Chain A
Amino acid sequence: MTAGALPRTIREAGELLRRRETSSVELTRTALGRAHADRHNAWLRLCDERALAQARAADERLKAGDAPPLCGIPWACKDIVGTRDVETTAASRILAGYVPPYSATVVERLDLPGAVMLGKTNLDEFAMGSSNENSAFGPVKNPHDPTRVPGGSSGGSAVAVAAGEAIFALGTDTGGSIRQPAALCGVVGMKPTYGRVSRYGVVAFASSLDQVGPLSNSVEDAALVCEALFGVDPNDATTMPLPAEDLRHDLDKGVRGLKLGVPKEFFIEGMEPGVERAVRQALRELERQGAELVDVSLSMTDHGLAVYYLIQPAEASANLARYDGVRYGLRVEGPDLLQTYRRTRGQGFGAEVKRRMILGTYALSSGYYDAYYVKAQKVRTLIKAEFDRVFQTVDALVTPTSPTVAFPIGAKVNDPLSMYLNDIFTLPVNIAGLPGISVPCGTSDGLPVGLQVIAGSYQERTMFRVAAAYERAAAAMPRSAAA
């Protein structure tokens, strides 16, 4: 381990910890040092004392032997995930100063094995965005090129992992918010099947789509973190009561004998040629490893964006009704209660949040509810059915994660529709509730490209298996070929 650098993966860090070549306190100091020196605006706050206390406790457990794999590993938490006694803002002015009285279930599930939370990472306000430019606390910059966006909304989490400031991170993914920034920053990002992970204590955005998941530097790490996160939570009625699974079981199995679907609708006009080149090469590599590539059609893909931009703002407009300045958060007093609500929300929310509140309220309003909201829910049924059909013939789907690489900061801020198109390949996965992962897949013009692997509901093992096979193959390729 280079002085001043963090191990890249949980496995590397775990080996160093178990050989007593480092301690959790040392790893945590290194991570905090790097995070304090971060120049990408990835962090909203760092919790040095809390982290070091967790690290000291982890070192005790490691000394006693038989500590779980996440024990002593420093991680970064997206600031939409509630953390007891640590300010949680969702990168919104309306929640500035808010200190949760309890932690989200996912935080407790990482506290339990002794993982060390370093602090809270920047994001698009309320996770609404694909570039991390919508944060009330300033944009995040891409470590591969600081004039470019890191993607969003989990931009700070992706950057913390990419820049070696944390070994893994948590993000949330409603339409691509883990996978797209992972792709744009060159890390692994994974969204679990809807129902796998508790959202209790996570600031709600669009409740039929939101999931929490990991960002990491390896597929194995993502699986390891998922093992800690998955499982029913009595505090979240949308978690599935399924038995615990060894999600790393098939990581080394390779893709020989698997049928991988390549949906033609995911290779569209307007996609950057460098992205298509990198993804096509990855497909050839998977074929060389013994997978059978199958051309499939997901003809409803084209309607994903429309469905998503009705259902998501509609659900968000209901969820965000709670920010009224009465019990917590910003309050801008007016002459009467209505004016207090209007002023509080007018000043507390940023432009993108207001746009989505208006769109969502409109789609739910009298006279438009059937034409927009119910129509979108019906087309959602068709999108889900089409995925279900395709998964009767293939084991997984392999697609690009995003049609472009990281774009310049400011390039799309005044054009919401073109910003929304960033998520065109990721949001159908949320609409259908499926698991999806983005793995680094070479570069285009020196910027990272992501390969997305999608599996059927609760088939994370297969998804990880394909992703790990590609990751190994890419690591074995000469650099020029991977690029």
Chain B
Amino acid sequence: MSTLDRSVVEHAAHLARIALTEEEIERFTGQLSVVLGAVDRLKDVDTSDVSPTASVLPLDNVLRDDEIRPGLELEQAFRNVPPGGRDGDLFRTQSTLESR
């Protein structure tokens, strides 16, 4: 069974874009090891001929007519923007590319 070491927690936290404190990394490593231990028992279930279920709904493609419908007004869409997050009619965020 997989016990979790802290590097796994650090890696998953990085992928999830969550900054953790040292104390959180330690605590979550212990707690999630216990949870994963319980989850690991699934390995004992034979699923060789079983297809996965993503949804229990007996629906496939749900289509609608391609009609124009009203959406949010601009001011409604900007209503909850964090301070400094609006620039005219655009959301402002930080650069994702380094300037050289």
Contacts and interface: CB of A to CB of B under 8 A. Distances in A.
Interface of A: 97-99, 101-102, 194-195, 208, 234, 237-238, 240, 303, 305-307, 309-310, 317, 321, 324-331, 333, 336-343, 345-347, 349, 351, 354-355, 357-362, 365, 371-372, 374-382, 384, 414-417, 420, 432-433, 457
A220 B10 CA distance: 50
B20 A238 contact: no
Contacts of B55: 194, 208, 238
Contacts of A331: 82-83, 85
A378 B91 CA distance: 41
Main secondary structure of the interface of B (DSSP, over half): loop
Contacts of A433: 56-57
Contact of A238 (B52, B53, B59, B76): B59
A233 to B, nearest CB: 11
Interface string B25-44: 00110011011101111110
29 contacts: A99-B79, A101-B77, A102-B76, A237-B59, A237-B62, A303-B42, A306-B39, A306-B40, A309-B38, A327-B80, A327-B81, A339-B19, A340-B93, A340-B94, A342-B18, A345-B16, A359-B32, A361-B12, A365-B12, A371-B43, A378-B45, A378-B53, A379-B47, A380-B53, A381-B47, A416-B31, A416-B35, A417-B35, A420-B35
Nearest to B55: A208
Contact of B17 (A238, A324, A333, A336): A324
Given A309-B35, A326-B91, A331-B83, 20 more contacts: A97-B80, A208-B56, A234-B64, A309-B38, A327-B91, A328-B80, A336-B95, A341-B17, A347-B19, A355-B31, A357-B13, A357-B16, A362-B12, A365-B11, A374-B52, A379-B42, A381-B50, A382-B45, A417-B38, A433-B56
B57 A358 contact: no
Given A329-B82, A337-B95, A382 B50 contact: yes
The 6 closest A-B pairs by CB, nearest first: A346-B19, A377-B52, A433-B56, A328-B80, A331-B82, A101-B76
Contacts of A338: 17
A354 B47 contact: no
A443 B23 CA distance: 41
Contacts of B79: 99, 101
Contact of B94 (A305, A336, A361, A378): A336
A336 B15 CA distance: 16
B5 interface: no
Given A307-B42, A309-B38, A372-B39, A354 B32 contact: no
B15 to A, nearest CB: 5
Contacts of B54: 208, 377
Contacts of A416: 31, 34-35
Given A238-B57, A327-B80, A379-B42, A355 B15 contact: no
Given A208-B56, A365-B12, A358 B32 contact: yes
B24 A354 contact: yes
A381 B35 CA distance: 22
A328 B95 contact: no
A358 B34 contact: no
Contacts of A346: 18-21
Q: Which of A331, A336, A337, A359 has most chain B Cβ within 10 Å?
A: A359
A365 B7 CA distance: 14
A309 B42 CA distance: 11
A309 B39 contact: yes
A415 to B, nearest CB: 8
A303 B41 contact: yes
A346 B38 CA distance: 26
B56 A326 contact: no
Contacts of B93: 326, 337, 340
A124 to B, nearest CB: 16
Contact of B38 (A99, A305, A324, A343): A305
